[in-house]
Chains A and B, each alone.
Chain A
Amino acid sequence: MNLDKTRHLPVVTSSPHVRSTDSVRSIMLDVLISLLPALLVGVFTFGPRALVLTVISVGSCLFFEWGFSRLVHKKNPIGDLSAAVTGVLLAFNLPVAVPLWMPVVGALFAIVIVKQLYGGIGKNIFNPALAARVFLFLAWSSAMTTWTLPRAVLPWFANVADAVTGATPMAILKEGSTSGLDLMAMLTGQTGGCIGETSALALLAGGVYLLIRRVITPRIPVAYLGTVALLSLLFPKTGSGLDWMLYELLGGGLMLGAIFMATDYTTSPSTIRGQWIFGVGCGVITIVIRYFGAYNEGVSFAILLMNAFVWMIDMAAKPRRYGLRRFARLREKFGAKHAGEREAQK
């Protein structure tokens, strides 16, 4: 067959002429899949109300994403599934006894204010789910800190009037105590806490899936968890460092934060060194808040604080330019040799 030039001409574009098959949608789908184990454990632990909250949260995130794009005449973006991921993560950050309108307000805040007003996917500075969680936490503190016991029987839809509450591991740790804590329960998620944060095992399984699918790299989780582990090992509030370290690692939202929140593409550095710095920074702030802050848990604040530094971290952690020797940038900046040139440039 010859080329028929009368019919059409082949496409001429700038190279490269092939692309990998990954898309935003395929990545977000992988993230959703990786969140499934934690969701299952959450529903098993806290009952069907957990599922109801998640569905409402996802639904309202998708709705606000669609609604906002309608309002500003943008193409409907919900097909990229990023709003669905935000929805699941937001639900994971809620106690199961919150009223059902709470995730709707959270979704509004996350999608419209934190994400879309900044320009939509890829442009937000703060993690939408985390920012919404902190907003709800500050606005409705008591509802957001009412921790029901695992396996408590809760109504599916009605407001929870008199929940049987208990202290979460983080509250116990805050007191500098470890009495009553059970590592096995913390691994499997049979403790008080938010819907999706309690089972370290399920979250780790999701993390392994993301690593295998190359959606995330181990850098941020390893730096984050490693820093928390090291600091708690060195400075236990009580008992042996090793025990204390395990409780700190498995308690609260650390696993959820380190694996799923701090690794959010848009709000974390893209340079390799930057990712290490970011993880370590999250770890340090988490421990500082847990040890000295007014709140029991510091993961959300730690990640949000570090979110604000992403651009700066990336610029500082730029990889060494090809062809330059080590520390060339430092020399360029501070070395006496180049001072004259700098003056001349000014």
Chain B
Amino acid sequence: MAHSFRGGIHPDPHKETTAGRAIEALPAPPTVQIPMSMHIGVPAEPLVKAGEHVKMGQKIGDTDAFVSVPVHATVSGTVKSVGMALHPNGARVMSVIIENDGQDELEPLARAMEWQMMTQDEMIALIREAGIVGHGGAAFPTHAKIRSALGKVDAMIINAAECEPYITSDHRVMLEYADDVVAGIRILLRIFSRIRCIIAVENNKPDAVESLRRAIGADNRIKIDLLKTKYPQGGEKQLIRAVTGREVPPGKLPADAGCVVFNVDTVAAINRAFTQGLPDIQRVVTVSGSAITTPKNLLVRVGTPLSALVAACGGYREEPQKMVMGGPMMGVAQFSDEVPVIRGTNAFLAFSENEDRRVDDPVCIRCGRCVQVCPMRLLPTYLYLYASHDMWDECERMHVADCMECGACTFECPGSLHLTQMFRVAKAKAMELRRR
């Protein structure tokens, strides 16, 4: 029996176009643009100045804040400029632009000894130094997550659900870098001693399960759980519920439910940091969508402009009407493809048609489909009604803050309401109200 949660939707997966394609390494571009903020938390401060020579893997930004990570050069070369530049989130943020000298001269992470000999603190410090953040999209600093969970959790869940349509980067990682994934898990198992580990995979990826099983071998600390294929199965709270039957109390962390969740590609990045001394400077990105000539999975350096990814996929087949960084359900729409790949970028999608059907007069017929699919068990139909009458305190009372903006309600709505968008506003308004 595949594990699951109540609610959820079944969007058209569109994964077949890229799932069968091996990861291609994209050569580093002539210049990379590296934002100082590619994670949740305090942005890093630039450590380099224009004209300085940097090595690949060299730290170019850092801060003292706990919820933050250092940023590294992803190529070797000369710093061209340090200043504000366009970020995939639509804002201009402090970024370092490096001209690539093509040498890929590596400065590995400083390490005193093999990880088997390191203490827990040393290991967590190394994960921070490597700048590792969650690769699933939200990009929460991994060292902070580990610290918050230490001593409180008995289960480590490796999120390999990859429930968003189109995206197959994690799928390919499991097929091609299964050893990295399992080695990364073993490193984490040393940090969290006496903990069980469950790799949670949606049941539409039997080949990935097979590949992981081979890599795990006889290691009985690591188990694989099959999940029902549905969206948002990979949502942290839904995943915890599906795998352990526990629920994270409102406003609390997964650690409060005794769980810690890592994305499968994050774990592979942890292994690269410990075994190759490689900080978080590269990742696998799915490039797909109807406007892309040859959809592919690419291994790219962080800071590579999206246009370079598109060029490697044969360019645009048609003028894209919509471009999205991330999946079609939770990704961020882009108006330019000159923004860089960041650590949390799992996909770049370009559509020749805007598939988000918008109408002039969205109407609620109270069909209740949003209520049936909401994975957080909210009542979107009533929340929408309250929100559209500016009744933010009522929204607050109905727990709009629980909304994780997965978009399931909006996807399902036959009246084409902009539910998720409305709840983003309502969450902000309710927060404002609470502060007062």
A interface with B by C-beta (< 8 Å): 1-5, 7-24, 26-27, 75, 80, 82, 120-122, 217, 265-266, 269-272, 275, 314, 318-324
Contact yes or no, B337 A3, CB < 8 A: yes
B193 CB-CB contact with A under 8 Å: no
A61 to B357, CA, bound (A): 28
A16 to B405, CA, bound (A): 9
B315 CB contacts on chain A under 8 angstroms:
1-2
Contacts A3-B320, A272-B372, A323-B247 hold; do A17 and B379 have CB atoms under 8 A apart? no
A323 to B411, CA, bound (A): 24
A11 CB contacts on chain B under 8 angstroms:
321-322, 333, 354
B367 CB-CB contact with A under 8 Å: yes
Contact yes or no, A122 B363, CB < 8 A: yes
B361 CB-CB contact with A under 8 Å: yes
Closest 3 CB pairs of A and B: A270-B368, A16-B407, A14-B421
B364 CB-CB contact with A under 8 Å: yes
Q: Please give the distance in Å from A346's CB to the nearest CB on chain B.
A: 15
A7 to B320, CA, bound (A): 12
B175 CB-CB contact with A under 8 Å: no
Q: Please give the distance in Å from B332's CB to the nearest CB on chain A.
A: 7
Among B364-409, those with CB < 8 Å from A are 364-368, 370-372, 375-377, 379, 381-382, 398-399, 402, 405, 407
Residue of A120, A269, A321, A323 with most partner-chain B CB within 10 A: A323
Contact yes or no, A19 B381, CB < 8 A: no
Q: Please give the distance in Å from A292's CB to the nearest CB on chain B.
A: 32
Chain A, interface SS category: loop
Q: Please give the distance in Å from A92's CB to the nearest CB on chain B.
A: 21
Contact yes or no, B328 A17, CB < 8 A: yes
Contact yes or no, B365 A322, CB < 8 A: no
Contacts A11-B322, A323-B252, A324-B249 hold; do A265 and B331 have CB atoms under 8 A apart? no
A23 CB contacts on chain B under 8 angstroms:
414-416
Q: Which of A20, A272, A319 is within 8 Å of B411, CB to CB? A: A20
A and B contact pairs by CB, cutoff 8 A, 18 listed: A1-B317, A5-B336, A10-B333, A11-B354, A12-B334, A12-B335, A15-B420, A16-B328, A17-B351, A18-B329, A23-B414, A24-B415, A80-B363, A82-B365, A122-B366, A217-B372, A270-B379, A318-B398
A1 to B321, CA, bound (A): 14
A82 to B365, CA, bound (A): 10
A23 to B410, CA, bound (A): 12
Contacts A75-B361, A270-B371 hold; do A13 and B11 have CB atoms under 8 A apart? no
Contact yes or no, A15 B320, CB < 8 A: no
B424 CB-CB contact with A under 8 Å: yes
B319 CB-CB contact with A under 8 Å: yes
Residue of A5, A17, A80 with most partner-chain B CB within 10 A: A17
Contact-residue bracket for chain B: 35 or more
A1 CB contacts on chain B under 8 angstroms:
293, 315-319
Q: Which residue of B lies closest to A75 (CB)?
A: B361
A2 to B316, CA, bound (A): 6
Contact yes or no, B333 A13, CB < 8 A: yes
B237 CB-CB contact with A under 8 Å: yes
Q: Which residue of A lies closest to B166 (CB)?
A: A18
A121 to B366, CA, bound (A): 9
Q: Which of A4, A75, A265 is within 8 Å of B365, CB to CB? A: A265
Contacts A11-B333, A270-B367 hold; do A321 and B319 have CB atoms under 8 A apart? no
B357 CB contacts on chain A under 8 angstroms:
19, 21
Q: Which residue of A lies closest to B407 (CB)?
A: A16
A323 to B253, CA, bound (A): 11
Q: Please give the distance in Å from A228's CB to the nearest CB on chain B.
A: 23
A319 CB contacts on chain B under 8 angstroms:
371, 377, 379
Contacts A322-B250, A323-B247, A323-B252 hold; do A19 and B356 have CB atoms under 8 A apart? yes
A16 to B9, CA, bound (A): 13
B165 CB-CB contact with A under 8 Å: yes
Among B299-355, those with CB < 8 Å from A are 307, 310-311, 315-324, 328-337, 349-351, 354-355
A321 CB contacts on chain B under 8 angstroms:
250, 377, 399, 402
A19 to B329, CA, bound (A): 9
A17 to B9, CA, bound (A): 14
Contacts A1-B317, A11-B354 hold; do A121 and B363 have CB atoms under 8 A apart? yes
Q: Please give the distance in Å from B427's CB to the nearest CB on chain A.
A: 13
B418 CB-CB contact with A under 8 Å: yes
A275 to B367, CA, bound (A): 12
Contact yes or no, A2 B415, CB < 8 A: no
